[in-house]
Amino acid sequence: MFFRANTRDKAQEKGVKGWVKNLRDGRVEAIFEGPENRVDEVIEFCKNNQPHARVDDFEIKEEEPTGEFDSFRIKR
């Protein structure tokens, strides 16, 4: 839970929209949408500064923004 909650809090702080969720295999998936510099800040936080969470590997896939998000939330 820590990774998802920390990610949500940081994304909301930076004004980034999207979601974060746990996958069945233990990985976490997230979509970030917003100003590039703010999205980059959230990504760096996820990679390097997650309190109470362990990050073993990180993969980034860039896509064109869709504008479909109005907030950032934890998806269940």
Q: CATH number of the domain that 11 lies in?
A: 3.30.70.100
Check: pTM over 0.85? Answer yes or no: yes
Helix H segments across 15-73? 36-48
Q: Which of 22, 24, 49, 54 is catalytic?
A: 22
Q: Which of 4, 8, 38, 54 is catalytic?
A: 4
22 in active site: yes
4 in active site: yes
pLDDT at residue number 54: 76
Per-residue pLDDT of the chain (76 residues; tens, 9 = 90+): 689 999 999 999 999 999 999 999 989 999 999 999 999 999 999 988 777 777 888 899 999 999 999 999 999 8
Q: Based on the structure, what is the number of domains in the chain?
A: 1
Which residues lie across from 21 on neighbouring strands? 29
Range of 53's domain? 2-74
pLDDT at residue number 2: 87
pLDDT at residue number 1: 65
| 71: amino acid identity, one letter | S
